[in-house]
Amino acid sequence: MTARTLFGKVWDAHVVAQEPAGPAVLYVDLHLVHEVTSPQAFAELRARGLRVRRPDRTFATMDHSIPTVKNPLAVADASAAAQLRQLVVNCEEFGVPLWGAGDPRQGIVHVVGPEQGLTHPGMTIVCGDSHTSTHGAFGALAFGIGTSQVGHVLATQCLVARRPRTLAVEVDGALGPGVTAKDLILAIIAALGAGGGTGYVLEYRGAAIRALGMEARMTLCNMSIEAGARAGLIAPDDVTFGYLAGKPHAPAGAAWDAAVDRWRGLATDDGARFEHAVRIDASALAPMVTWGTTPAQACAVDGPVPDPATAGGADERAAATRALDYMKVEAGKPLAGKPVDVVFIGSCTNSRLSDLEAAAKIFAGRKVAAGVRALVVPGSQEIKRAAEAAGLDRVFTAAGAEWREPGCSMCIAMNGDALTPGQLAVSTSNRNFEGRQGQGGRTVLASPLTAAASAIAGAIADPRPYLEAR
Amino acid sequence: MPAPQFTSVTARAVVLDAADVDTDQIIPARFLKTTTKDGLAAGLFADWRGRPGFPLDEPSAAGAQILIAGVNFGCGSSREHAAWALAAWGFRAVIAPSFADIFRGNALGQGLVPAAIEPAAHAKLMTVVRDAPDTRVTVDLERLEVRWMCGPEADAVCRAAFAVDPFARRQLLEGVDELGYLLKLDDRITAYEGVSR
Ligand code: SF4
């Protein structure tokens, strides 16, 4: 048999039909649903008199437009409340399990899937959400789809898909102190460019990847889409199995042993070919921050913001100039020291327990700078409980940060948590697009360590001195 | 909803000369708090409308059915609302040097044709349309080419080829409904579920 990539193995195992020289019909093992991208799909099913083919392979949660306070449905604005109510109605009518407001499993869709053990190696996973790539951390082929395709999957458990090409991201070396998976993925995206991964599935490989814990791997795969790649995968290993073991929806007993045997075969074979490859040295990286309005516009927190004149093509130069202008950032100088208004720690990129622990390390015994609003938003109810059990909430509140209920919150600013025009936020989320965190708001993406350090400093800050001071 | 159909469109075009236009710009998230596809045109480029010189605000944009944009158009969020909003505004095709994957699929599903043409031809087309906003541009899915008049002589036609996945192209030319296609595979899906799941 020819040597195959991890991606190739998962893809091949899910082809239900193949159009000659055309797309495949791909079977979907797990379909995750949230309130924003599903209502029109359920409406389509209703209009056609269709049912959900596999409600047992479909799970819904509330995250995007849910207020991050107690009793969210009582305070949601009318349109958000209507959307959340519609999800309840749809899930009841079509028999889809829903982890809604008040459910102990509720949280951000890409946080709760892995946390509840729904995400398994070798699966195909889709969701009407581009950060579905997160689940690739388990060696699953996971990607975002539009609402029409949400309808297709609800009705048939399948979708029409064109086979992507493969791109190996080889990461050697080891991340230094204060440098995290978030910094690594920002460096990878900067190297590939905002569209550099278009048409590809990424496989993250190499010593630095193997050394990452499961939550860090999710941070990495989460942002694959920011380089244009719909999916990013990491081969499953003992770290993966250790994370999954005992989770509510993970296999148990003899089925677990059989599953692990199968999953061990999911690595890319020696000699398998990737269509493209890039190599990154993790040891050379510093904490990263974005200076522009795409996640690819990033640099080291202590390094100078690149001069647009040195950017590759005319397009890039124009984009960089436009971005600097929007961000009110000066080229040639480091971002460190630039005053911040808001710090947001949360989102499907960085709202897991290890992220909150990292932030707490910096917050402990310190105070958020005067005039800075700092929000810490756990990714799920389960993370919230675990963080509170460990006393992290008290660390945050003692420092003067807000400790909120789970949801997407200021990552997308649909739920009332939003920047006001002109405000600058250091955010652990994944998108610094114009106005993403609120109309007219400006976003600097960073790790939880950098975000926390910036909250304390009142300005964009390198977290390493704060860690050394301990 | 009937399956969208598309053969060719000839219309005026609007130039939005920006790279990496993400779907948060095409339609900001606050317009996604809806359960229908109605009224989305109001959200199209909502945060860019009203900025001095924004091309969609120009009187010449009225009635345009083709958007000419920069590289990596439609990157970011998977929101299909972006394709819905463009279509609701009246666009039937977008011409750019490249498109983001999810947007490309969403657009094709709406019968909004994403035509990726060579950067050199793209630059030429932008200049022509900027100089003469009344230029009629054709996006021809049958012949897989973009055409426009590029000189005073009646036969001075510029052409640029684009590629569309052959399966998606056939679907659009014939008005095939993708969900209907999948539903017809019921037996094979059931067989697959029996063996593998
Ligand atoms: S946290 Fe942000 S990126 Fe993640 S699913 Fe929610 S809105 Fe999308």
Min distance B183 CA to chain A CA atoms (Å): 6
Average pLDDT, chain A: 97
Per-residue pLDDT at B155 exceeds 80:
no
pLDDT in tens, B7-59: 999 999 999 999 999 999 999 999 999 999 999 999 999 999 999 999 999 99
* B77 pLDDT tier (thresholds 50, 70, 90): very high
Average pLDDT, chain B: 95
What separation in Å is there between the alpha carbon of B136 and the centre of ligand 1? 41
pLDDT in tens, A47-91: 999 999 999 999 999 999 999 999 888 888 999 999 999 999 999
What is the per-residue pLDDT for B125?
97
Interface contact flag, A16 B185, Cβ < 8 Å:
yes
The continuous run of DSSP H or E covering B89 comes out as helix B81-89
What separation in Å is there between the alpha carbon of B131 and the centre of ligand 1? 41
Chain B residues inside the 8 Å CB shell of A435: 24-25, 28, 47
Is the CB of A412 within 6 Å of ligand 1? Answer: yes
pLDDT in tens, A146-185: 999 999 999 999 999 999 999 999 999 999 999 999 999 9
Q: In Å, how far are A116, A136, A220, A404 from A113, measured between CA atoms? A: 6, 12, 16, 21
Is residue B2 in a domain? no
> Which two structure tokens, joined as six digits, stand for B187?
């037996």
Is residue B21 in a domain? yes
Q: How do strand B93-96 and strand B113-116 relate by DSSP bridges?
A: parallel
The structure's pTM equals 0.97
Chain A residues inside the 8 Å CB shell of B183: 50, 155-156
Compute the distance between CA of residue A397 and CA of residue A10 in angstroms, rounded to an integer. 45
A–B CB contacts, 8 A cutoff, strictly below? 180
Chain A residues inside the 8 Å CB shell of B39: none
What separation in Å is there between the alpha carbon of A221 and the centre of ligand 1? 14
pLDDT in tens, A434-447: 999 999 999 999 99
Per-residue pLDDT at A199 exceeds 90:
yes
Q: Which of A34-43, A134-143, A249-258, B149-158 has the lowest mean pLDDT?
A: B149-158
Is residue B156 in a domain? yes
What is the per-residue pLDDT for A312?
78
What is the per-residue pLDDT for B3?
84
Is residue B145 in a domain? yes
Minimal CA–CA distance to A154: which of A199, A93, A212, A110? A93
Per-residue pLDDT at A94 exceeds 70:
yes
Q: Which of A34, A433, A436 to mutate to test the interface with B (most CBs of B within 10 A)?
A: A433
pLDDT in tens, A397-420: 999 999 999 999 999 999 999 999
Is the CB of A34 within 6 Å of ligand 1? Answer: no
Q: What does the angle CA B44 – CA B50 – CA B54 come to, to the nearest 5 degrees?
A: 75
Is residue B73 in a domain? yes
What is the per-residue pLDDT for A57?
98
Ligand 1 atom 4: residue of nearest CA: A348
State which residues form the domain around B149: 8-196
* CATH code for the domain in which residue B159 is found: 3.20.19.10
Mutate to test the pocket of ligand 1, among A430, A436, A437 (most ligand atoms within 8 A of CB): A430
> Considering its fold, how many domains does chain B have in total?
1
* B197 pLDDT tier (thresholds 50, 70, 90): low
Q: How do strand A98-99 and strand A58-61 relate by DSSP bridges?
A: parallel
Interface contact flag, B75 A294, Cβ < 8 Å:
yes
Rg (CA), chain A: 21
Min distance A18 CA to chain B CA atoms (Å): 11
Chain B residues inside the 8 Å CB shell of A129: 77-78
Is residue B3 in a domain? no
What is the per-residue pLDDT for B195?
85
What is the per-residue pLDDT for B153?
79
Is the CB of A63 within 6 Å of ligand 1? Answer: yes
Minimal CA–CA distance to A54: which of A33, A90, A28, A36? A28
* A1 pLDDT tier (thresholds 50, 70, 90): low
What is the per-residue pLDDT for A400?
98
> Which two structure tokens, joined as six digits, stand for A235?
């081969």
Is residue B22 in a domain? yes
- DSSP-based three-state secondary structure for B53: coil
> Which two structure tokens, joined as six digits, stand for B11?
């219309």
Is residue B58 in a domain? yes
| C-alpha torsion A201→A202→A203→A209, nearest 10 | -150
